[in-house]
Amino acid sequence: MAKTRPEHHSQPVLESGMDYVEHEKTYNGFITGVKWSIYGLAALLVILYFVVNP
């Protein structure tokens, strides 16, 4: 059996190059886009139901 352990990161990285404010804006925009896409598809399905099935 090995007596030594493999070394991982010696210290945690406290600072990153990621812009969290921009990340939050992008994520919120994505969620808003998905939400409105679902609303639009639901409306389209209702409209198509009445057009196709008179």
Tell me which residue has tokens 């991982």.
8
Q: Which residue has the higher pLDDT, 7 or 51?
A: 51
This prediction's pTM: 0.61
In this predicted structure, what is the pLDDT of residue 37? 98
Q: Which residue has the higher pLDDT, 26 or 8?
A: 26
Q: Which residue has the higher pLDDT, 32 or 17?
A: 32
Q: What is the mean pLDDT of residues 20-25?
A: 90
Q: Which residue has the higher pLDDT, 40 or 16?
A: 40
Length of the chain, in residues: 54
Q: Which residue has the higher pLDDT, 54 or 51?
A: 51
